[in-house]
Amino acid sequence: MLRFGRRLAFGTALALLTLASAGFARASVLALDALANAQLQSSAIPSLLGPVNELGRNGWQCYPEHAAKAAARHDAELPADDGAP
């Protein structure tokens, strides 16, 4: 009877351990997936355009206004090709 009890206890413990391991493994995979998915973010916020002088935005050398208006991304002061702002 005692031997049977020991076997039962051992079997139960083994089953619980297996279940726990599987649970931990699954949780670990889910956590990794969640961590990886968290990296799927949009690119950087565009930097602020610089100051405007006393001539105002219509000055021919108003670079911030030209950057805001530009159709070409190289003139628009957007984040660089490696994603750096």
Q: Under 8 Å CB-to-CB from 49, ≥6 apart: which residues? A: 63, 64, 67, 68, 77
9 touching another protein, by CB under 8 A:
no
Name which of 9 and 33 has its Cβ closer to another protein. 33
On whether the CB atoms of residues 75 and 64 are closer than 8 A, the answer is: no
Structure tokens at 69: 């208006």
Q: Does 20 bind another protein (CB under 8 A)?
A: no
The dihedral sign for the CA sequence 31, 36, 42, 46: positive
Restricting to residues 37-66, name those near another protein by CB under 8 A: 37, 39-43, 45-58, 62, 64-65
Does residue 32 touch another protein according to CB under 8 A?
yes
Nearer to another protein, 39 or 60 (CB): 39
Contact call for residue 7 and another protein (CB under 8 A): no
- Rounded to an integer, what distance in angstroms lies between the CA atom of residue 21 and that of residue 77? 51
The residues that touch another protein, with contacts defined as CB under 8 A, are: 25, 28-29, 32-33, 35-37, 39-43, 45-58, 62, 64-65, 67-83
